[in-house]
């Protein structure tokens, strides 16, 4: 595969094929980034997105399919990024799993998948990306959740993973400074949960009613925040809530 123009900034977005991830990819691409769209299961969507972006700007979007929790996944991903683009300016750790659990002994079956995907994978990717990001004074943006601070009933383990990711953000901001900035975005109600986590219309309306701005969010709002954090050279170690004020409500 041909390398892209090495003068263009490069962003890797994990879970970048759909929903919030795709909005981030589109926003960064529109701002001049070459984008590497990581996916696991959503390969068809990732390819369609890359095709659309490459029609706008040749060799500006690549698809990287990989399960991120394997022992060598982070190193393999970064080796591929190096081979394809030769640089990395921004790592967006967006890939995440959202699983309901009851607080019983059986809930431990979800422990590994949630912590490996939501905490360990971003950590190892960040460390694997360190050399490239240092070379280009790059940045890392993690996607956490307002429920890292305000637990969501029925999702205890998930909330713990997002709390851990917030601490990871602050810790790496110190460890990787001054060469690399590390920040996070904590979305509120942005993209409604899917499948077994789906909400009834009544619950959705209740959530909106509990949001001071009285509206449901949009993935575009998260994408705007990612770009802002990527562009500002004097912000690190911060958790930016993009939630319409919902975290203000007890």
Both structure tokens of 171: 């810790």
d(CA 149, CA 160) in angstroms, rounded, equals 9
Write the CA distances from 113 to 119, 122, 166, 207, 235, integer angstroms: 10, 13, 18, 28, 31
Residues 101-114 as b/e (b if ≥16 CB within 10 A, e otherwise) read beeeeeeeebeeeb
Residue with tokens 């926003």: 27
Please tell me what DSSP assigns to residue 120: I
d(CA 96, CA 116) in angstroms, rounded, equals 10
Q: Is the Cβ–Cβ distance between 23 and 219 less than 8 Å?
A: yes
Q: Is the Cβ–Cβ distance between 35 and 152 less than 8 Å?
A: no
**Nearest CA to 107 among 152, 59, 154?**
154
Catalytic residue, chosen from 33, 136, 155, 158, is: 158
Q: What is the DSSP string of 38-79?
A: EESS-HHHHHHHHHHHHHHSTT-EEEEE--TTSTTHHHHHHH
Q: Is the Cβ–Cβ distance between 35 and 116 less than 8 Å?
A: no
The yes-or-no answer on residue 136 being catalytic is: no
d(CA 6, CA 52) in angstroms, rounded, equals 21
Point out the residues that are catalytic. 158
């Amino acid at each position: 595969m041909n390398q892209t123009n090495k003068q263009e900034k490069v962003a890797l977005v994990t879970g970048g094929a759909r929903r919030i991830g795709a909005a981030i990819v589109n926003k960064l691409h529109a701002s001049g980034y070459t984008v590497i769209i990581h996916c696991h299961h959503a390969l068809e969507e990732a390819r369609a997105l890359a095709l659309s972006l490459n029609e706008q700007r040749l060799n500006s979007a690549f698809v990287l399919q990989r399960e991120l929790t394997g022992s060598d996944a982070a190193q393999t991903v970064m080796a591929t990024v190096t081979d394809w683009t030769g640089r990395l300016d921004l790592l967006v750790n967006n890939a995440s799993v959202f699983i309901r659990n009851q607080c019983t002994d059986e809930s431990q079956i979800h422990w590994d998948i949630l912590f490996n995907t939501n905490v360990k994978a971003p950590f190892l990717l960040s460390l694997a990306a360190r050399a490239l990001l240092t070379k280009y004074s790059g940045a890392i943006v993690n996607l956490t959740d307002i429920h890292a601070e305000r637990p969501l009933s029925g999702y205890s383990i998930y909330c713990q993973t997002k709390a851990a990711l917030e601490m990871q953000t602050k810790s790496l901001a110190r460890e990787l400074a001054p060469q690399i900035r590390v920040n996070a975005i904590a979305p509120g109600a942005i993209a409604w949960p899917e499948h077994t986590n789906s909400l009834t219309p009544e619950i959705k309306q209740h959530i909106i009613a509990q949001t001071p701005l009285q509206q449901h969010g949009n993935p575009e709002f998260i994408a705007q925040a990612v770009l802002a954090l990527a562009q500002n050279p004097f912000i690190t170690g911060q958790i930016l809530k993009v939630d319409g004020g919902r975290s203000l409500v007890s």
